[in-house]
Amino acid sequence: METIFHEDKEFKNIDYSEKDLRNRKFINCNFLNCNFTKSDLSNNDFSDCSFNDCNFSMAKLSNSGLKNAGFTNCKLIGVSFNECSSFLFSVNFRSCNLDYTSFLKIAMKKTRFVDCSLKEADFTEADLTMAVFDKCNLYNAVFFHTLLEKTDFRTAINIILDPERNRIKKARFSPEGALGLLAKYNIEIG
């Protein structure tokens, strides 16, 4: 199948839900209020693209590249980012719903999550070195063998992680957030 190229374009108010949109390359494109719910976006490449007010719930991103992709006020429920291409993978999220997403084994150094919901997100074996979780809800998020060195959790809520099963050297927590490091001991403080 031949690759379709798009460069310096804006896509606005388009419903792509449940569509097959494979084998496309987008460079410096902006997507505004587009619906990709349950779309197949496999084998696409998004470089220097921004997504605003878009819905990606349950979209397929198998072998897709996300290189310097920014998501603002987007719904990405149940997206398996671990199926994306790892080559130059770089994303940032602001005011997004990322509940039930998977970031399994992804290198995400310095990724910024700002004002996001990450309920039950899976960060197993991910590299989140120097990542920032600013005002994020991490209720039941999974951190297992996750690299969290210098990661900033100071304004995040509902953090529970086991310091014996994650690398947290120089990670930053608020006093309340640090209590989530003791959750496995089932103790009461206060």
Q: What's the confidence (pLDDT) of residue 59?
A: 97
Nearest Cα residue to 27 out of 83, 66, 84 = 66
Print the domain residue range for 122. 98-190
Q: What share of the chain is helix, strand, coil (3-state, %, to 5)?
A: 5, 30, 65
| CATH number of the domain that residue 61 is part of | 2.160.20.80
Name the stretches of the chain with pLDDT < 50: none
Both 110 and 186 in one domain: the answer is yes
Q: Is residue 90 part of a domain?
A: no
Note whether 134 and 152 are within 8 A (CB): yes
Neighbours of 177 (CB within 10 A): 21
Q: Is residue 80 part of a domain?
A: no
Q: Is residue 92 part of a domain?
A: no
Q: What's the confidence (pLDDT) of residue 128?
A: 98
pLDDT tens-digit series, residues 85-135 = 999 999 999 999 999 999 999 999 999 999 999 999 999 999 999 999 999
Q: What's the confidence (pLDDT) of residue 23?
A: 93
Both 67 and 102 in one domain: the answer is no
Length of the chain: 190
DSSP 69-102: EEEES-B-TT-BGGGS--TT--EEEES-B-TT-B
Token pair for residue 78?
A: 């149940």
Q: What's the confidence (pLDDT) of residue 177?
A: 85
Both 188 and 107 in one domain: the answer is yes
Q: What's the confidence (pLDDT) of residue 1?
A: 63
Question: Model-level pTM greater than 0.85?
Answer: yes
- Return the residue matching tokens 């007010």: 53
Q: What's the confidence (pLDDT) of residue 69?
A: 98
| Run of H or E residues at 177 | helix 175-178
Q: Is residue 93 part of a domain?
A: no
Domain count, the chain: 2
Both 56 and 103 in one domain: the answer is no
Q: Is residue 36 part of a domain?
A: yes
Token pair for residue 85?
A: 């291409």
| Run of H or E residues at 83 | none
Token pair for residue 188?
A: 């009461």
